Amino acid sequence: DAGVIQSPRHEVTEMGQEVTLRCKPISGHDYLFWYRQTMMRGLELLIYFNNNVPIDDSGMPEDRFSAKMPNASFSTLKIQPSEPRDSAVYFCASSTFRDTEAFFGQGTRLTVV
């Protein structure tokens, strides 16, 4: 398996623009997680899905953030409008119920200027 695939790897955008981050989980994994990593706050869980259904979105910082999982092989994290404080590395990860370890993608480094 190719592992968790995220795109793009790097994104630079201007404040106020819409940003969409994409993730393809490992085939057969029924849990998908979105994390954000910054120097100040470390790794933060934003939201996670089970069988394409959002289970816990309490970590989503504001209404500007939204996430979807239309099918088992694809998820998006959208920020609209983006702000400079959203600059971070965003990770997607997937796992199964039985094997609780999560497998991470390479991350998307977002810079909002």
Distance in Å, CB of 84 to another protein, minimum:
22
**Contact region for another protein (CB under 8 A) — 16-24, 62-70, 78-86, 94-102?**
94-102
Burial of 87 (0-12, 13-18, 19+ CB in 10 A): middle
- 10 Å CB burial of residue 79 (0-12, 13-18, 19+) is buried
Query: Residue 34 in contact with residue 92, Cβ under 8 Å?
Result: yes
Q: Figure out which of the listed residues 25, 33, 65, 79 binds another protein, where binding follows CB under 8 A.
A: 33
Note whether 65 binds another protein by CB under 8 A: no
Identity (one letter) of the amino acid at 20?
T
**Closer to another protein by Cβ: residue 19 or 35:** 35
Taking Cα atoms as reference points, which of 3, 88, 79 lies closest to residue 37? 88
Least distance between another protein and beta carbon 72 (Å): 17
Q: Applying CB under 8 A, which residues contact another protein? A: 4, 31, 33, 42-43, 45, 48, 50, 56, 91, 93, 97-98, 100-107
